[in-house]
A and B are shown apart, each in its own frame.
Chain A
Amino acid sequence: MKKRIYGIETEYGVALIAKNNRWNCDSTVLSQYYDFLRSEFFYEFLPNGSRCYIDVAFHPEYCTAECLNLADLVAQDKAGERILLDIFNRVVEGKEGVKRIALFKNNVQYAPEDDQSTPQAFSSTPVSFGCHENFSMDKRLGLEIIKLALTPFLVARQILCGSGWVTNVHYQRRKSRYAISQRTRFMNKYVGNNTRGWTQRPIICTARWDEPHADSSKYQRMHLILGDSNMSELSTYLKMATLGILLEMIEEGYPFAERCAKLMPLSPVDAIKLVSLDLTCRNPVIELDAGKFISAVDMLLEYAGMMDEYEEVQGLNPDLSEALKRFKDVLRRLGKREMDSETLMETDSQGLGEELDWLIKKTILDRTLMAYGSHWNNFYGRKIDFVNGRIGIHEKLMANDLKYHDISPQGLYNQFIATEPNLPISRLNELGIRTPRLVDKEKIENMEKNPPQNTRAKIRGDLIKLLAARGNFKFRIDWEQIVPIAAGYGDSIALDDPFAAQNDMADLLKSRI
Chain B
Amino acid sequence: MTQEKEKEKLKPVPPEDGAPIEEDGSLDEEGEGAKPGNDLEEEAERAKKDLEKRRERFRQMASKVEGEDTEASTQHKLTEGQ
Contacts and interface: CB of A to CB of B under 8 A. Distances in A.
Given A23-B75, A57-B81, A383 B27 contact: no
Nearest to B71: A23
Interface residues of A, number: 73
Contacts of B26: 421-422
B17 interface: no
A37 interface: no
A391 B75 contact: no
A57 B78 CA distance: 8
B79 A27 contact: yes
A111 B74 contact: yes
A17 B60 contact: no
A368 B81 contact: no
A513 interface: no
A168 to B, nearest CB: 8
Interface in B51-73: 51, 54-60, 62-63, 65-73
B58 A416 contact: yes
A431 B13 contact: no
A23 B55 CA distance: 29
B75 A129 contact: no
B61 to A, nearest CB: 8
A382 B68 CA distance: 19
Contact of B80 (A128, A417, A420, A431): A128
A110 B79 CA distance: 12
A56 B81 CA distance: 6
Interface in A223-255: 225
Interface in A34-79: 55-59
A422 B71 contact: no
Contact of A384 (B12, B57, B73, B78): B12
Contact of B55 (A56, A384, A419, A423): A419
Contact of B10 (A57, A372, A422): A372
Contact of B71 (A21, A431, A433): A21
Given A21-B68, A421-B26, A374 B81 contact: no
Contacts of A132: 82
Given A395-B70, A423-B33, A371 B63 contact: yes
B18 interface: no
B59 A422 contact: no
Contacts of A367: 56, 59-60, 62-63
Contacts of B75: 15, 22-25, 111
A439 B31 CA distance: 23
Contacts of B12: 371-372, 384-386
A396 interface: yes
Contacts of A394: 73
Contacts of A371: 12-13, 60, 63
B79 A57 contact: yes
Contacts of A168: 73
28 contacts: A11-B82, A13-B78, A56-B81, A57-B78, A109-B76, A111-B73, A125-B80, A127-B78, A127-B79, A127-B81, A129-B80, A129-B82, A168-B73, A196-B82, A367-B62, A386-B65, A386-B69, A388-B67, A391-B70, A399-B68, A400-B62, A402-B73, A403-B69, A416-B55, A420-B51, A421-B47, A422-B27, A432-B44
Cβ-closest 10 pairs across A and B: A129-B81, A57-B79, A23-B75, A386-B65, A399-B69, A371-B63, A367-B59, A110-B76, A399-B72, A419-B54
Given A109-B77, A395-B69, A423-B33, 12 more contacts: A21-B71, A23-B72, A110-B72, A125-B80, A127-B79, A128-B80, A383-B10, A385-B10, A391-B70, A398-B73, A400-B62, A419-B21
